[in-house]
């Protein structure tokens, strides 16, 4: 009524509204009420259809799997089945994380094996239900040996074999530290204390490697180390780039370079010359700064280098130089 009838009612004139509200006889009034009731019924049907159409039904993309979040009548199913997205390839978080997430995404694509799902093209609506995992959900991405690192159950084909959970449990039990078993002491009375043999403690072997399983905190530490390494590498590359750009940092605090390339005695003289001539530089370049334009001109006058060579060392086109 608010969106359909009210605007139509307001658009009528006062005389028309008065005539419709108080018709001269009962028959037009009944026709008007029937028409209004019919309009409201049609509006309700449209709204119900819109609501049913707007419900997003989530289904499993594995071949032969009929799991869905709603039935055919768009009613929510309370069956406890969860749906999981395909893992993303995080290629910008270090080499270790990039390799692991890339391998996992490839494993999921190979497990589902659908023609419209590739590594670089996975529709947003594609999900894998919990029935294809041993524990009912995907494992942590860094646990590459976990059976639920990728779906392996009821895939509709035999190319990917189901993972062995017993083998994984045996491997994890070997990684756990073994608890020392306490010796069972007989409660019988011993007359001669000399018969007791003192227990010999065997020291643990020192050359045995630490078989403690890596936890999530260990992976976080590895990720932080990788991030710090990348930041240090980024700073080093920025310094190297600034030295190759032939800007102020290239000549700063180096009077020998200033003398050789420009013929001026000191870097301060060069900066003073730049302050004098910069207001008269009418043609500004988007690639070269005012300092680089002055430096290029002085190098050309000082060393008489060819323009092609100057354009090469400044990494610009010959027309720009």
Tokens of 45: 């049907």
Confidence (pLDDT) at 209:
46
pLDDT tens for 261-309 read 899 998 899 999 999 988 888 777 777 888 888 888 898 898 888 888 8
pLDDT of residue 29: 47
Q: With the C-alpha atoms ordered 298, 302, 308, 310, is the resulting torsion angle positive or negative?
A: negative
User: CB–CB of 146/214 below 8 Å?
Assistant: no
Q: Which of 39-53, 126-140, 235-249 has the highest mean pLDDT?
A: 126-140
**174 pLDDT above the threshold of 80:** no
Q: Check pLDDT > 80 for residue 131.
A: yes
β partners of residue 129: 83
The 10s digit of each residue's pLDDT in 44-93 is 555 455 445 456 788 999 988 999 998 888 888 888 899 999 999 988 88
Q: Is the pLDDT of residue 238 over 60?
A: yes
* Helical residues (DSSP H) of the chain, grouped into ranges: 5-11, 14-21, 26-54, 95-112, 165-175, 216-244, 248-251, 255-262, 267-277, 290-303, 307-313
**CA nearest to 55, candidates 72, 39, 35:** 72
Helices (H), 55-183: 95-112, 165-175
pLDDT of residue 115: 87
Q: Give the residues across from 68 on adjacent strands.
A: 59
**Is the Cβ–Cβ distance between 168 and 176 less than 8 Å?**
no
Spatial contact of 100 and 141, defined as CB atoms under 8 Å apart: yes
The predicted model gives 237-250 an average pLDDT of: 75
User: Residues 63-72: contacts with CB within 8 Å, 24+ apart?
Assistant: 63/112, 63/113, 63/114, 63/155, 63/156, 63/157, 64/154, 64/156, 65/129, 65/131, 65/132, 65/154, 65/156, 67/129, 67/131
Return the minimum-mean-pLDDT range out of 116-125, 156-165, 263-272.
156-165
Overall pTM surpassing 0.85 (yes/no):
no
What is the domain partition of the chain in residue ranges? 5-54, 83-173, 214-244, 248-313
Binning pLDDT at 50, 70 and 90, where does residue 218 land? low
């Amino acid at each position: 009524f608010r969106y359909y009838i009210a605007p139509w009612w307001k658009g009528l004139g006062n005389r028309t509204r008065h005539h419709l509200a108080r018709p001269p006889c009962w028959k037009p009034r009944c026709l008007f009420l029937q028409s209004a009731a019919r309009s409201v019924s049609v509006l309700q049907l449209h709204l119900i259809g819109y609501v049913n159409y707007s419900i997003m039904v989530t289904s499993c993309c594995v071949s032969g799997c009929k799991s869905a979040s709603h039935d055919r009548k768009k009613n929510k199913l309370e069956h406890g089945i969860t749906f999981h997205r395909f893992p993303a390839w995080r290629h910008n978080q270090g080499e270790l994380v990039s390799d692991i997430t890339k391998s996992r995404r490839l494993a999921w694509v190979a497990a589902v094996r659908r023609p419209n799902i590739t590594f670089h093209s996975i529709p947003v609506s594609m999900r894998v239900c919990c029935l294809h995992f041993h524990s009912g959900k995907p494992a942590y991405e860094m646990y590459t040996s976990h059976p639920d690192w990728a779906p392996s159950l009821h895939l509709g084909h035999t190319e990917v074999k189901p993972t062995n959970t017993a083998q994984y449990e045996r491997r994890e039990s070997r990684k756990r530290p073994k608890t020392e078993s306490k010796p069972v002491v007989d409660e019988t009375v011993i007359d001669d204390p000399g018969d007791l043999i003192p227990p010999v403690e065997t020291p643990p072997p020192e050359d045995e490697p630490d078989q403690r399983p890596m936890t999530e905190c260990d992976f976080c530490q590895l990720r932080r180390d990788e991030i710090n390494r990348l930041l240090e590498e980024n700073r080093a590359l920025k310094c190297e780039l600034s030295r190759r750009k032939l800007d102020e940092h290239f000549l700063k605090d180096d009077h020998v370079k200033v003398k050789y390339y420009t013929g001026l005695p000191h870097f301060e003289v060069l900066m003073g010359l730049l302050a004098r001539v910069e207001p008269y530089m009418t043609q500004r370049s988007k690639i070269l700064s005012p300092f680089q334009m002055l430096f290029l001109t002085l190098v050309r006058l000082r060393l008489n280098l060819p323009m092609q060579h100057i354009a090469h060392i400044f990494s610009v086109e010959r027309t720009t130089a």
